[in-house]
């Protein structure tokens, strides 16, 4: 990974990650990777609502993150106040978010982790703007496919493929049950220090492959705009050791030593350490961007 080469390639361009906190994890990784070649005083971090922008001034480059955990409109779209018990989505409503994605040169989308909270997804009848509160409960894969169809339709109708390169990033796995990798004495991912090393071992860490298939198929089915599917799932499933675990934050604060001593409750086995695995994801992205003529 040559950050100076990437920054040169991105001169005058916008690179934006769109999605949930795992895409923010990858955005943080990318910022760390490129900022090392930018002198102090020549970079800035700007936050405005759902959009966070890292600006490299001498190159007129921005590396951005836009918070949209379901891609479509939901009642969890506030970037700070989204710890909501009953999360509700509008699977055919994407325009409010998508207005912020126009005129971006590289777009990297994801949506996954919040789909895993419930077996069924609450789908609003009507519109939040009109005060609707009633919803239907829809099976997770069907709701996900509806969102993906809405997203791909927007991509086809609004993206200029001569300017913008579009990526969709696959599912970032969780490691919350140590029995998944045959460690009956483990506590979630806490104290794991090595990856799953036996690559011939058949294991399942609970990734919803139905959503993976839906994302993969819809990404391939766009009619006018090519979408590159970044498959990060399998390689990440081996990395039970790479999560932030008890070295994590809650509500913007590092967890206390007392909380750290209770990994069963407080270990974060969703997000990833930096430096760490998201740097590998960004190497895929880097290779794709650098190889473009």
Q: Would the pLDDT of 293 be above 70?
A: no
Which residues 6+ apart lie within 8 Å of 38 measured at CB? 7, 56, 58
Q: What is the pLDDT of residue 49?
A: 95
Q: Is the peptide bond before 275 cis (omega within 30 degrees of 0)?
A: yes
Q: Starting from the edge strand earliest in sequence, which strands make up the sheet with 135-139, in order?
A: 73-74, 88-90, 120-124, 135-139
Greater pLDDT, 181 or 200: 181
Render pLDDT for 117-157 as a digit per residue (tens, 0 to 9): 999 999 999 999 999 999 999 999 999 999 999 999 999 99
CA-wise closest residue to 286 among 234, 230, 223: 230
Q: What is the mean pLDDT of residues 205-217?
A: 97
Q: What is the pLDDT of residue 51?
A: 98
Q: How far apart are CA 293 and CA 77, in angstroms?
A: 36
Greater pLDDT, 32 or 202: 32
Q: Would the pLDDT of 14 be above 80?
A: yes
Q: Would the pLDDT of 80 be above 90?
A: no
Tokens 């609970």 -> residue: 206
Q: What is the pLDDT of residue 202?
A: 82
Q: Which residues are catalytic?
A: 21, 268, 271
Q: What is the mean pLDDT of residues 8-24?
A: 97
Q: What is the mean pLDDT of residues 86-100?
A: 97
Which residues 6+ apart lie within 8 Å of 148 measured at CB? 214, 215, 218
Q: How far apart are CA 228 and CA 212, in angstroms?
A: 14
Q: What is the pLDDT of residue 235?
A: 96
Render pLDDT for 162-190 as a digit per residue (tens, 0 to 9): 999 999 999 999 999 999 999 999 999 99
Q: What is the pLDDT of residue 82?
A: 81
Tokens 């999360």 -> residue: 87
Cβ 22 vs Cβ 269: under 8 Å: no
Q: How far apart are CA 244 and CA 116, in angstroms?
A: 19
Q: How far apart are CA 208 and CA 78, in angstroms?
A: 26
Tokens 């104290």 -> residue: 191
Q: How far apart are CA 189 and CA 177, in angstroms?
A: 7
Q: How far is CA 175 from CA 60, 72, 181, 202, 241, in A?
A: 39, 27, 9, 15, 9
Cβ 109 vs Cβ 122: under 8 Å: no
Q: Would the pLDDT of 289 be above 90?
A: yes
Q: How far apart are CA 52 and CA 45, in angstroms?
A: 7
Q: Would the pLDDT of 64 be above 80?
A: yes
Tokens 């126009």 -> residue: 102
Q: Would the pLDDT of 8 be above 90?
A: yes
**pTM metric for this prediction:** 0.96
> How much is the CA Rg of the chain, to the nearest whole Å?
19
The whole-chain average pLDDT of the chain stands at 96
Cβ 154 vs Cβ 107: under 8 Å: no
Reported as a pLDDT band with limits 50, 70 and 90, residue 198 is: confident
Q: Would the pLDDT of 256 be above 70?
A: yes
When mean pLDDT is compared across 23-37, 73-87, 263-277, the lowest value belongs to 73-87
């Amino acid at each position: 990974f040559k950050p100076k080469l990437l920054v040169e390639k991105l001169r005058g361009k916008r690179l934006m990650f769109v999605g949930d906190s795992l895409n923010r994890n990858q955005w943080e990784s990318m910022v760390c990777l490129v900022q090392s070649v930018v002198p102090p005083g020549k970079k800035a971090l700007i936050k405005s609502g759902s959009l966070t922008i890292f600006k490299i001034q001498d190159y007129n480059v921005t590396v951005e993150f836009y918070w949209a955990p379901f891609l479509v409109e939901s009642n969890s779209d506030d970037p700070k106040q989204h710890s909501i018990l009953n999360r509700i989505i509008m699977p055919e409503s994407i325009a409010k978010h998508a207005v912020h994605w126009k005129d971006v040169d590289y777009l990297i989308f994801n949506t996954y982790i919040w789909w895993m909270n419930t077996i069924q997804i609450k789908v609003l009848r009507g519109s939040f703007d009109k005060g609707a509160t009633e919803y239907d409960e829809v099976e997770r894969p069907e709701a996900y496919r509806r969102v993906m169809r809405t997203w791909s339709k927007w991509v086809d109708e609004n993206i200029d493929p001569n300017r913008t390169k579009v990526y969709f990033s696959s599912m970032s796995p969780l490691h919350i049950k140590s029995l998944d990798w045959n460690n009956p004495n483990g506590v979630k991912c806490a104290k794991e220090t090595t990856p799953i090393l036996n690559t011939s071992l058949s294991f399942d860490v609970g990734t919803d492959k139905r959503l993976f298939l839906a994302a993969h198929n819809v990404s391939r089915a766009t009619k006018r705009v090519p979408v590159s599917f970044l498959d990060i799932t399998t390689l990440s499933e081996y990395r039970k050791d790479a999560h932030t675990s008890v070295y994590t934050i809650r509500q913007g604060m590092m967890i206390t030593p007392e909380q750290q001593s209770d990994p069963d409750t407080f270990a974060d086995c969703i997000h990833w350490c930096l430096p760490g695995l998201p740097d590998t994801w960004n190497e895929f992205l880097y290779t794709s961007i650098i190889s473009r003529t």
